[in-house]
Structure 1
């Protein structure tokens, strides 16, 4: 279940208490004046953020919460949702990356809608976008395993920050000065240089799927999912 961030502070059940702890740490990190993303504090301060916890750390739980997120974003295109999961191998970057990929593969199998014809299946295509339940998603996967790339570590649990790709562009797409400012702040905040995969949608060299999960060091980046993972799911006639 998704909650408004302010709703979990006084939670009494174990799951809501844990979610409250994670939200508190998430809030602490993104409100740090040094945090690179200048857009991150806004939904926190305005209490528009929706949050949820996959308590058992299962991809199916995360997928259910992301289905709720799709419904919320369909109603409010600028909605930002944060999903947490306590994974068995917390702090293992390879395991956290594979969990992120598993969630995307599962979403594709569960999707009830066809992707727009103009959207290519190949994540190496600069026009590629991940669609789910009629929403053009952008994913930011952040994990405890990110130690050098601190900007991708938002607390002690696997964290997915999701929003509509088109709303992401509304905030930052045309503001190149903001992007340059964020890159400069990343260079100061992280122990490694800004990742080479970071770019602007629509640029010929941009690859959205490389940005979802960044490595912890200097690497060329690679997509979480392959073309074969993105084939249209079989549906009953």
Structure 2
């Protein structure tokens, strides 16, 4: 179930108490004046974010919460949702990356909607977007395993910050100035250079699927999923 931050404070169940802890740490990091994303503070301060916790750390739980996120975004296109999961062996970047990829694969299998015909299935195409339940998702996967890339470490649990791709563009600004400002701030926050995979949607060299999970180094990005993972649900065995 998804909750606003104000709804989890003082929770009486172990799940709500853990969620409250994670929300508190997330809030602390995002409200740090040095945090690169200048848009992050507003929804935190306005208590408009929705939070959920996959208590057992399974892809099925994460997928259920992301289905709730899709429903919430369908009702309110600018809604941002934050999903946490306590994974076994937290801090292993390869394991956290694979968990993120498995979540996307599962979502594709569960999706009840056809993707728009204008959306290519090849994640290497600059026009590619991941659709789920009729929502054009943008994913930011942040994990405890991100150490040098501090901007992708939002607390002690695997974290997925999701919103509509369309609303992401609204927040960032069509003239790209906001993106340039954020990437300049990244240089002073992370201990590695801004990742070369960062780009603007629609630009010829942009790849959305590379940006979902950034590595901790400066090497080129690679997509979390490939064409073989994105077949229509009925084509999976």
TM-score (norm 2): 0.98
Distance 1:207 1:79, change over 3 A: same
Name the counterpart of 2:85. 85
Q: Moved runs in structure 1, 4+ residues, more than 6 A?
A: none
1:43-100 superposed Cα distances (whole Å, 9 cap, x missing partner): 1011000000000000000000000000000000000000000000200000000000
SS in 2 for 1:108: helix
Name the counterpart of 2:49. 49
Alignment of 1:1-237 (within 5 A): 1-234=1-234
CA separation in 2, counterparts of 1:46 and 1:160?
20
TM-superposed CA distance for 1:177, in Å, is: 1.9
TM-superposed CA distance for 1:175, in Å, is: 3.8
Q: Aligned Cα RMSD in Å?
A: 0.8
User: Is the Cα–Cα contact under 8 Å of residues 145 and 153 in structure 2 kept in the other structure?
Assistant: yes
User: Is the Cα–Cα contact under 8 Å of residues 176 and 200 in structure 2 kept in the other structure?
Assistant: no
User: Is the Cα–Cα contact under 8 Å of residues 31 and 41 in structure 1 kept in the other structure?
Assistant: yes
CA separation in 2, counterparts of 1:180 and 1:71?
32
CA separation in 1, counterparts of 2:84 and 2:173?
26
Structure 2: 5+ residue stretches without partners: none
Matched pairs, number: 235
TM-score (norm 1): 0.98
